[in-house]
């Protein structure tokens, strides 16, 4: 009797737990976080038909390790579905889609599958047979996946370019009704018409359903993000994106609707620094407005993950580690001998680190500086190449946030001095004289020297004669303001020495 009672109680608890553990759109809004697309993979006419090979399970290990929470998997159904009634979807294709979905679900990722590149429907929506075929596809998708984790979401259609607003409202309502027959509480994602931008989402009819979410896409401005023209990052550029996200975010709140941006990005032919800023600003705008995001990754012009090499490019760290609290407005100047780095801090940091590298994915720490600093000068020993810089900041709660990387070409650099015992003293300078000591100095030899500001401006130049191992440098009668300066000394043998000194 006790055992039977226990089984009954377990059953009741299980049912109650299942009811109350169901993912709602509000839950999803909090948990989906940062996401990515498995683009140009299951949506070509056949898998591997474009610039990528067939999907591999290790991709999803990489997504999970990187820190992504959501993977959107675009799927084309047209090439795998009968053109006549009963419009059966090829079993092999359905099995393959399920296999890829299961790889993602097994790693506790949120997963979105959709109907992608279904041009046949968009071009012929008025034809009842065409609509019936699309309806049948969704009947079969809904039936096949009805028992999957509720972390799997259905997106009705991708970018229905060609459909009118009335037609997309009709499509959304009809397909949602089909899905609800077998998936009563699975989250379904709808959009507006055309290219599914935010304006179209706000114009579309919101389905009357408790488990609905909206999506929009944005590659604004297209001339930059889609065609690689010009630069991006002015205040006007930022305000345009800032206003877009605030408008759609406010609209979603007013309508008690959870929304996401499931595609954004900029082609890799864009101006490099502009592209880094563009990605970072989209991430920031999404987070500020409580909108989960999925970066478009097609393995090509919008690539983030190098699939064959199981490696990431620098966009990944922006997607995962850029926050509204990150150092921002990073700018590099100089490019000859010195690189001057300026930025804006947006939080109280407990630690601030400068990174540098010859590529944006091989950055090394070069300095840990005052957490309140907003500029740094780097002295380089090699020229004729690009240098990449990035900041890492530790917040007071221990969270580490990144800036976006910036790139600068360095033409020439300081020649590395072969003498290892050179010292500058006193440092910081408190009077009108500073000294250099080195066993390499020749008594009586004249040395030319010049002093530069932190911005690279030469303040004055003169000559000094070495006295034994000491070279005395006379500072100008007007004392230098407190700060950082650079001293450059050139001997008769044309060797150049550059050192940093401080003035209190």
69 in Cβ contact with 110 (< 8 Å): yes
Three-state SS for 212?
A: strand
> Is residue 441 over pLDDT 90?
no
3-state secondary structure of 387: strand
Which residue among the candidates 47, 118, 155, 159 is catalytic per the annotation?
Answer: 159
Q: Write the pLDDT tens digit of every residue in 167-205.
A: 999 999 999 999 999 999 999 999 999 999 999 999 999
Helices (H) then strands (E): counts for the chain: 12, 25
Q: Would you list the DSSP string of 240-276?
A: HHHHHHHHHHHHHHHTT-EEEEEEE---TTS-HHHHH
Most confident of 257-261, 411-415, 492-496: 257-261
Please report which confidence band the pLDDT of residue 374 belongs to, taking 50, 70 and 90 as the band edges. Answer: very high
pLDDT score, position 479: 66
Per-residue pLDDT band for 286 (boundaries 50, 70, 90) equals: very high
List, in order, residues 6 or more apart from 245 with CB less than 8 Å away: 285, 286, 288, 289, 291
Average pLDDT over residues 248-266: 98
pLDDT at 11 over 70: no
Say if residue 10's pLDDT is above 60: no
% of the chain surpassing 70 pLDDT: 91
Which residue in 399, 293, 390 sits closest to 343, CA to CA?
390
SS3 state of residue 225: helix
pLDDT band at 439 (very low <50, low <70, confident <90, very high): low
**The pLDDT of residue 5:** 36
User: Using CA of residue 84, residue 88, residue 90, residue 93, what is the dihedral sign?
Assistant: positive
Is 263 considered catalytic here?
A: yes
CA distances from 499 to 94, 425, 503 (A): 67, 11, 13
The secondary element (H helix, E strand) that includes residue 437 is strand 433-437
Distance between first and last Cα of the chain: 86
Domains along the chain with CATH numbers:
25-321 (3.20.20.80), 328-410 (2.60.40.10), 423-503 (2.60.40.10)
The answer to whether 284 and 62 are in contact (CB under 8 A) is no
The residues, ordered by sequence, that sit 6+ positions from 383 with a Cβ below 8 Å of its Cβ are 336, 410, 411, 412, 413
Kindly tell me if the per-residue pLDDT of 158 is higher than 80.
yes
Cis bond upstream, residue 80 (ω within 30): no
Q: pLDDT digit string (tens) for 375-412?
A: 999 988 788 899 999 999 999 999 999 999 999 999 87
Neighbour-count burial for 302-318, b at 16+ CB within 10 Å, e otherwise: bbbbebeeeebbbbbbb
In this predicted structure, which of 30-44, 235-249, 419-433 has the lowest mean pLDDT? Answer: 419-433
Q: What is the pTM of this model?
A: 0.81
Average pLDDT over residues 234-263: 98
Closest Cα partner for 97 from 140, 58, 61? 140
Q: With 90 as the cut, is the pLDDT of residue 469 above it? A: no
* pLDDT attached to residue 16: 39
Residue 159 annotated as catalytic? yes
Question: What mean pLDDT is reported for the chain?
Answer: 90
| Per-residue pLDDT at 15 exceeds 60 | no
Got the DSSP string for 396-430? TTS-EEE---EEEEE-B-PPPPS-S--EEESSSB-
Q: What tokens does 436 get?
A: 């250099």
Q: Pick the catalytic residue: 43, 118, 263, 406? A: 263
Handedness of CA 436, 441, 443, 446 (dihedral sign): negative
């Amino acid at each position: 009797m006790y055992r039977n009672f226990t089984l009954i109680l377990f059953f009741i608890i299980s049912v109650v737990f299942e009811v109350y553990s169901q993912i709602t759109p509000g839950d999803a809004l909090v948990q989906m976080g940062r996401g990515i697309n498995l683009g140009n993979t299951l949506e070509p006419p056949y898998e591997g038909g474009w610039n990528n090979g067939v999907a591999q399970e290790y991709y999803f290990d990489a997504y999970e390790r990187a820190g992504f929470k959501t993977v959107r998997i675009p799927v084309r159904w047209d090439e795998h579905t009968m053109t006549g009634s009963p419009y059966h979807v090829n079993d092999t294709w359905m099995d393959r889609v399920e296999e890829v979905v299961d790889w993602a679900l097994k790693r506790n990722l949120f997963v979105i599958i959709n109907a992608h590149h279904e041009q046949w429907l968009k071009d012929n929506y008025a034809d009842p047979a065409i609509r019936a075929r699309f309806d049948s596809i969704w009947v079969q998708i809904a039936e096949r996946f009805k028992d999957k984790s509720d972390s799997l979401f259905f997106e009705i259609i991708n970018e229905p370019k060609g459909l009118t607003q009335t037609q997309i409202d009709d499509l959304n309502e009809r397909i949602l009704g089909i899905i609800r027959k077998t998936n009563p509480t699975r989250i379904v994602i709808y959009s507006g018409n055309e290219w599914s931008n935010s304006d179209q989402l706000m114009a579309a009819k919101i389905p009357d359903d408790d488990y609905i979410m909206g999506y929009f896409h944005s590659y604004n401005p297209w001339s930059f993000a889609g065609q690689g023209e010009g630069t991006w990052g002015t205040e006007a550029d930022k305000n345009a994106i800032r206003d877009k996200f605030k408008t759609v975010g406010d609209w979603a709140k007013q309508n008690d609707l959870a929304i996401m941006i499931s595609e954004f990005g900029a082609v890799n032919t864009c101006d490099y620094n502009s592209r880094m800023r563009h990605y970072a600003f989209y991430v920031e705008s999404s987070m500020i407005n409580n909108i989960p995001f999925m970066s478009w990754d097609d393995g090509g012009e919008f690539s983030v993950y190098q699939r064959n090499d199981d490696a990431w490019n620098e966009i990944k760290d922006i997607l995962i580690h850029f926050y509204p609290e990150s150092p921002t407005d990073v700018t590099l100047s100089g490019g000859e001998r010195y690189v001057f780095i300026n930025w804006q801090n947006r939080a109280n940091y407990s630690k601030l680190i400068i990174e540098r590298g010859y590529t944006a994915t091989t950055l090394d720490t070069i300095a840990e500086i005052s957490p309140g600093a907003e500029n740094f000068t780097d002295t380089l020993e090699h020229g004729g190449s690009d240098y990449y810089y990035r900041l890492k900041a530790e917040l007071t709660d221990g969270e580490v946030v990144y800036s976006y990387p910036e790139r600068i070409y360095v033409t020439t650099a300081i020649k590395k001095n072969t003498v290892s015992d050179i010292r500058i003293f006193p440092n910081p300078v408190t009077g009108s004289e500073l000294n250099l000591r080195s066993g390499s100095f020749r008594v009586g030899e004249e040395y030319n020297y010049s002093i530069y500001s932190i911005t690279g401006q030469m303040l004055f130049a003169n000559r000094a004669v070495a006295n034994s191992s000491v070279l005395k440098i006379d500072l100008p009668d007007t004392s230098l303001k407190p700060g950082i300066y650079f001293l450059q000394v050139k001997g008769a043998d044309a060797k150049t020495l550059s050192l940093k000194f401080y003035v209190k």
